[in-house]
Amino acid sequence: MIAANLPDFDLFYTGVGGDRLAYMLHHRGYTHTVVLAIAGAFLVWGVAWSIRRWRAGEAPPRGDARWLLALLMVSTLSHLALDWTNSYGVHPFWPIDDRWYYGDSVFIVEPWLWVASVPALVMATRSRVARVLLSLVLIAGLALAWLTSMVGVGAASALTAGAILSVLLARTLGADARVSAAFAGWLAVTGAMGAGAATARGAATRAVHALDPTAELLDVVVSPLPANAVCMSVIVVERDGATYRVVTARASAIPRIADAARCGTARGTATVFRASSRPSTRALHWDSEWSAPVAELAGLARESCVARAALRFIRVPAWSFAGDSTAHLGDVRFGGGGGGGFSDVTVKRGEARCDVNAPWVPPRSADMVRGAGGRVSSGAVSPALRELPAVAHAARRRESASAGQPDAVRPMNCRRGVRGRTGCCVFVSRAYYSVSWDIIISQETL
């Protein structure tokens, strides 16, 4: 159990309710990578091996030690896999690959997974305290399902019936069959949620192309509603020429049974959004939309260190201005954009320094490059990229000046990059170039 939750130990240094930007960048950060997950498994194994040797006076048998290490590896790495399944995302392949990966198929706290696994865990443990605590977790999950508006009455009823069936199976099956049933239930829940999410994603993609064939579809974010494999929350990110657009919707994976308009409540309720005028169907109900010039976001990223840092996390950016020098920047996934969302940060133009940074590639980095006036392609360095060294040089000079440092700026070395003709370091990321948000520049440019 310790190993399975070890990646979330990053909460001890990111904090909950503290620095919002630090939390966004470092929760699901370094500890949620394959490298540190494996290192964590070895750490727990070493501690367990040492305790066993100290208490028994001899080292455990090699076979037992190997099985324990394998189990711990599965525990830490499965945490990463489970976190990948939702729309929050992980970047498991750091330091080789700093990009975010999103599964977009399971709600971030899915109660059906508790129903499938908790009764088997209760029967497997010998500790009475652990049994009580696990039982309380399941009861609390069922109670929340009935109390929250995110779960409909039908879904809550099905969840309760499933919990009763899971308890009965756990009490009647043998140990091996119990584990197999719990594992099969977990896979069934994940598969059903993933199938529903894929259906919703396909419906949204087809609808966008049918409504505006000239618009470029940048991203489709899908998240099932809790305890519901039929109803999905959808966020569509588009670009139409120089306009960046976000549209929220609800989707039904089985429209004959469930109308999308009855799937939960509308998203995109921040003040910057307006009701969408797009025609809805039983399969896809459009709720709200918001648009702005993409150059505005590129400008915020260029002029503010806080914006550049936040954009390493924000997948669906939305923003609003509060005067000429201040803006609110947030992620629509978490109700951002109006200043009151979990991910909203206050951006001040000309803010050259900030204390928080991380190596993650911004999810919308390619769009920001195009917003700066260039076109991203896999075959050549775009005009926008050619201009970035000068922009970065000026930004670094402003940062040094604000810190009272000499005007001379020490050049930074390029990592894992290929060098364009201007000396700008460009990271190859599949079919497009992704530029470091700190904008790394080579010695020739400086």
pLDDT digits (tens, 9 = 90+) for 303-352: 888 888 899 999 999 998 887 788 889 999 988 777 677 788 888 877 77
pLDDT band at 367 (very low <50, low <70, confident <90, very high): low
Q: Is 327 a member of any domain?
A: no
Q: Is the pLDDT of residue 431 over 50?
A: no
Residue 8 lies in a domain: yes
Is residue 139 assigned to a domain?
no
pTM: 0.80
Residue 218 lies in a domain: no
3-state secondary structure at position 133 = helix
Strand pairing report for 326-331 and 216-224: unpaired
Per-residue pLDDT at 323: 76
What average pLDDT does the segment 407-417 reach? 38
The span from the CA of 113 to the CA of 118, in Å, is: 8
Mean of pLDDT values over 381-397: 41
Q: Which of 75, 52, 79, 55 is nearest to 64 (CA)?
A: 52
Residue 48 lies in a domain: yes
Cα gap 246→272, rounded to integer Å:
11
Q: How confident is the model at residue 368 (pLDDT cuts 50, 70, 90)?
A: low
* Cα 313 from Cα 358, distance rounded (Å): 9
pLDDT digits 0-9 by tens, 290-309: 999 988 988 888 888 888 88
Most confident of 123-137, 193-207, 347-361: 193-207
Range of the domain at 435: 374-446
Q: How many CA atoms lie within 13 A of 64 on its CB side?
A: 7
**Average pLDDT of 222-251?**
93
The pLDDT of residue 22: 83
Q: Alpha helix (H) ranges present in 27-92?
A: 34-56, 62-84
When pLDDT is cut at 50, 70 and 90, the band that residue 224 belongs to is very high
Task: Return the ∠ at Cα 195 (arms to 190 and 196), rounded to 5°.
Answer: 100
Q: Which helix (H) or strand (E) holds 296?
A: helix 294-303
Residue 32 lies in a domain: yes
The 10s digit of each residue's pLDDT in 53-75 is 787 777 777 777 888 888 899 99
Write down the pLDDT at residue 379: 34
**In angstroms, how far is CA 205 from the centroid of its own chain?**
20
Q: State the helix-helix crossing angle for 175-211 and 111-124, rounded to 10 degrees.
A: 170
Among the three residues 67, 84, 101, which one is the final residue of a domain in this structure? Answer: 84
Judge whether 215 lies within some domain.
no
State the total domains in the chain: 2
The HSE-up count of residue 303 (CA atoms within 13 Å, CB side) is 15
Q: How confident is the model at residue 27 (pLDDT cuts 50, 70, 90)?
A: confident
Distance CA 106, CA 75 (A): 19
Q: How far is it, in rounded angstroms, from Cα 59 to Cα 260?
A: 60
Cβ(228)–Cβ(157) under 8 Å?
no
pLDDT band of residue 21 (cuts 50, 70, 90) is: confident
Mean pLDDT of the chain: 79
Q: How many beta carbons lie within 10 A of that of residue 209, not counting itself?
A: 12
Long-range Cβ contacts of 368-376 (<8 Å, 24+ apart)? 368/294, 368/297, 368/298, 368/301, 368/311, 369/298, 369/433, 369/435, 370/239, 370/294, 371/244, 371/293, 371/294, 371/295, 371/296, 371/297, 371/298, 372/295, 372/298, 372/302, 373/295, 376/432, 376/433
- The stretch 404-426 carries a mean pLDDT of 38
In a domain, 183, yes or no: no
Under 8 Å between Cβ of 304 and 347: yes
> How high is the pLDDT of residue 107?
92
* C-alpha pair distances (Å), 432 with each of 16, 387, 405, 426: 35, 18, 36, 10
The H-or-E segment that residue 194 falls in is helix 175-211
pLDDT of residue 426: 34
- Of 84, 104, 137, the residue that ends a domain is 84
To the nearest whole percent, how much of the chain has pLDDT over 70? 80
Distance of alpha carbon 137 from the chain centroid = 25
The pLDDT of residue 432: 32
Which of 128-132, 262-266, 397-401 has the highest mean predicted lDDT (pLDDT)? 128-132
Q: Using one digit for the tens of pLDDT, what is the confidence trace for 195-210?
A: 999 999 999 999 999 9
End position of a domain, from candidates 54, 84, 114: 84
According to DSSP, the β-strands at 284-293 and 317-321 are unpaired
